[in-house]
Structure 1
Amino acid sequence: YKLSAAWSTLQSGGRAVDAVEKGCAQCEIDQCGGTVGYGGSPDELGETTLDAMIMDGDTMQVGAVGDLRRIKNAIGVARAVMEHTKHTLLVGESASNFAEDLGFPGENLKTSRSLSIYLKWLSQNCQPNSWKNVTPEPSKSCGPYKPANRFLQEKQRVHHELTSIHNHDTIGMVVIDKNGHVSAGTSTNGLRHKIPGRVGDAPIAGAGSYADSEVGGAACTGDGDIMMRFLPSYQAVEYMRNGMDPTLACQKAISRIRKHYPSFFGAVVCANITGSYGAACNKMVALTQFHFMVYNPSADRALEKVVNCI
């Protein structure tokens, strides 16, 4: 449905950036996989917060929001940041206030499902969580935590590496319209049981997604805390700028991260202005293939594509 919404927007004369907004918004409404939009991925306080970003590859303008509370249409607020401010990224309660001032309705983003996930997590001694180098031992108990001494830090570092893969995902979308305009965007409710205030890669330009109408676009999903350190979407677009085909560009972006984090969870999708596209993912026990969708105009439907992880 999200690709159909994006394609319908183009068919009705909308620009690439309009299609990205409509496609991501549809996913927010549908709560895609429970990892996009309201009612999913509760943080350590049981609250669902949202991250989103949109980028116009013509103007290189970006609008983004992080740790957005109470507002269901995160990609819409990101678009508002781009259209109505001179800023790029707004975060937290101030971003929510900004949205409400512009007429976005404030609503409770919790659902019975997100509450159930949260209560189950509490009953399991807050496992897994995102803490390290603290006491009490975060692999066995809930906080509040305090910094640990050096001996405990060495012990807990191994635990952190073994538990860095969590159940989370992002919608990433790249759109090229009939005039060659490129736009990209993302939306997510972030990492499940994240520390309140955490913002992942999704709203960071060049990390979650990137677009340049002279080249193409790319978008990412996976362990945002690691992936944002390498700006893989930007890197993939730059590889394509230098003549690399989309599949290889995605693979190279993944390989740069894997050099430092061999077991990270992540994938990249890429498309260039000729209409060629590709994707790549880091191979691990829990991820051997990556599925993504491409809208086929001649068939007038979305087609599922699969790549083997490298």
Structure 2
Amino acid sequence: MNREQSLSWLARMLLVRRTEEAIARHYPEQQMRCPVHLSIGQEAAAVGICSALDEQDQAVSTHRAHAHYLAKGGDLDALIAEIYGKATGCCGGRGGSMHLSDRRVGFLASTAIVGNSIPVGVGMALSQQLQGSRAVTCVFLGDGAVEEGVFYEAANFAAVRRLPVLFACENNRYSVYTRLEKRQPAGRKLTTLAEGIGLRAWEVDGNDVAAVAALTADVVASLRDGAGPAFIEMPTYRWLEHCGHADDDHLGYRPDGELADWKARDPVAQLIARLQPDADWLAQCEAGLAARIDTAFARAKAAPFPAADTVFDGIYATPLQEQH
């Protein structure tokens, strides 16, 4: 691994981890204006994928979007303010946790409905192709989204048109409380399913940021050269409940010991063990992140809510009161 690059991955993964830990701590205060879906434990997948993307490249995401937004270069203050429903949020306080958008960093959209952003991303890739751009689009999705009809339709269209789109699948094995084995036939691999649609497909350890980054760099380069759409499956694991800030292992939907096994494969701890960064560097990194995150929360809490007279801003249909 390139050490400088690897340290930057570690810093970005720590940013994601510490931010979401702070969200979990503050959520019980009942000031956040939306549900939250945290991806603690899945940081390597987001950072590894986004390490190969440029600002010109676009990304769309899911209800579990914080890590993708920050890994793509999104603004921490804007993210936290958005979760608090404040005017300084990346969507002006109108989107909340599940509807993040920031065109300045190429983060096109995230949506709450499973699979809903997939055709949006494929449409963006079509636009890039029609413009003759070398930019690509990354569609983040979970394992549950491959069971939605829109995935098959959009992936088939991408394959037919050879679009520059990467389907980045974070396979955390659960759709809410239902294990993958309860939703897919025995022996089926998601990569085989993707190949059957016409996508080029790979599987890589979603908790190994270096492996994800190396594979993604090659795949993105091939997309820029017109090789056609690709699918990367990244087995990983969410540590907390599907929706919310709490641990839910007591509910019994996870087999005994499974969560502990995955925590032993903590992607942040693994990278620290491999890099063995200087203790002073790590301490300064952690202190700097703590200060940034505390400041972001303080600013979000102090920021104003959107003004009432802006309620129709961003709505393309003519408001009813102007139609009569």
TM-score, with structure 2 as normaliser: 0.27
Which is richer in strand?
A: 1
TM-score, with structure 1 as normaliser: 0.28
Which is richer in helix?
A: 2
* Higher RCO, Cα 8 Å, sep 6+: 2
